[in-house]
């Protein structure tokens, strides 16, 4: 099967079996989305959604969070992974937003990645969800599914190389949706351990049913 045909088959399947999707993180504003995505690194969305209501109630904006200390923020987020670092990042990014961006979350990759704790993956999620851009964040689920379905070659060993390879064949107007289709397929069906192959309508395309792929950290 040619690469274009493979991508069309996979994307058509996802579009037919999944609704238009968005992040499973709960948020009310772009700033809160950014905070939630930072907190979700190496942590489940479910866990993040348990702690953000109180955090957002007390610190709903960049301006309010910029006045807090990492020690105070830590108490709100201590049940997530790496809470010490994330508390420092959240206060730091809030302060930079106030000082450099008038309290508003910027929309470009270059500006977003200036913020403490914001890497390319986080920036791509914010660009796609908040600003509707054709950005594709590669997390461990997207990385794994892309390899198992041979959407990307084995030489793609980094999240960035997978991102670039996927965007070569995904139509621009489907890039943001494709990220969530691949992510949710990996999260709930094509799991790292014990994938639910019997529930996958495209398992005949899987090139690596007996191998596990995980994205390098």
Task: Give pLDDT, residue 19.
Answer: 75
Q: Is 139 a catalytic residue?
A: yes
Instruction: Note whether 43 and 118 are same-domain residues.
Output: yes
In tens, the pLDDT along 108-130 reads: 999 999 999 999 999 999 999 99
The parent domain of residue 93 ranges over 30-131
Instruction: Note whether 99 and 178 are same-domain residues.
Output: no
Q: Which regions of the chain are under pLDDT 70?
A: 20, 208-217
Q: How far apart are CA 87 and CA 71, in angstroms?
A: 7
- The token pair that represents 33 in the structure block: 């989305």
Give me the helix-helix angle, 140-148 and 159-167, nearest 10°: 60
> CATH number of the domain that 176 lies in?
1.10.1670.10
Instruction: Note whether 34 and 111 are same-domain residues.
Output: yes
Q: Total structural domains in the chain?
A: 2
In tens, the pLDDT along 82-111 reads: 999 999 999 999 999 999 999 999 999 999
Instruction: Note whether 201 and 159 are same-domain residues.
Output: yes
Tell me whether residue 74 is in a domain. yes
Tell me whether residue 180 is in a domain. yes
- The token pair that represents 1 in the structure block: 């099967």
**Choice among 86, 139, 198, 209 that is catalytic:** 139
Instruction: Note whether 125 and 174 are same-domain residues.
Output: no
**Choice among 45, 54, 121, 133 that is catalytic:** 121
- Tokens 């999707």, located at residue: 21
Instruction: Note whether 113 and 81 are same-domain residues.
Output: yes
Tell me whether residue 196 is in a domain. yes
Instruction: Note whether 117 and 141 are same-domain residues.
Output: no
Instruction: Note whether 158 and 120 are same-domain residues.
Output: no
Q: How far apart are CA 145 and CA 196, in angstroms?
A: 13
Instruction: Note whether 74 and 153 are same-domain residues.
Output: no
Instruction: Note whether 70 and 104 are same-domain residues.
Output: yes
Strand, helix or coil at 106?
Answer: coil
Task: Give pLDDT, residue 209.
Answer: 55
DSSP of 129-170: HHH--------HHHHHHHHHTTSS-TT--SHHHHHHHHHTTS
With contact defined as beta carbons under 8 Å apart, do 98 and 63 qualify? yes
Q: Is 12 a catalytic residue?
A: no
With contact defined as beta carbons under 8 Å apart, do 106 and 112 qualify? yes
């Amino acid at each position: 099967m040619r690469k274009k045909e493979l991508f069309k088959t996979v994307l058509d399947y996802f579009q037919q079996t999944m609704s238009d999707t968005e992040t499973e993180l709960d948020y009310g504003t772009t700033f809160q989305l950014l905070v939630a995505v930072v907190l979700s690194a190496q942590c489940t969305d479910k866990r993040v959604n348990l702690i953000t209501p109180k955090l957002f109630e007390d610190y709903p904006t960049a301006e309010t969070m910029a006045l807090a200390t990492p020690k105070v923020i830590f108490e709100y987020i201590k049940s997530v992974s790496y809470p010490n670092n994330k508390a420092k990042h959240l206060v730091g990014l809030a302060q930079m937003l106030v000082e450099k961006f008038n309290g508003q979350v910027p929309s470009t990759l270059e500006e977003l990645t200036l913020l403490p704790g914001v890497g390319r993956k986080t920036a791509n999620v914010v660009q796609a969800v908040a600003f509707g851009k054709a950005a594709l964040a590669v997390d461990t689920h997207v990385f794994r599914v892309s390899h198992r379905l041979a959407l990307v070659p084995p030489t793609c060993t980094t999240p960035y190389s997978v991102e670039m390879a996927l965007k070569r064949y995904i139509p621009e107007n489907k890039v943001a949706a494709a990220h969530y289709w691949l992510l949710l397929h990996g999260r709930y069906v094509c799991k790292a351990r014990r994938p639910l192959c019997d529930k996958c309508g495209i398992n005949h395309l899987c090139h690596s049913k007996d191998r596990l792929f995980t994205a390098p950290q």
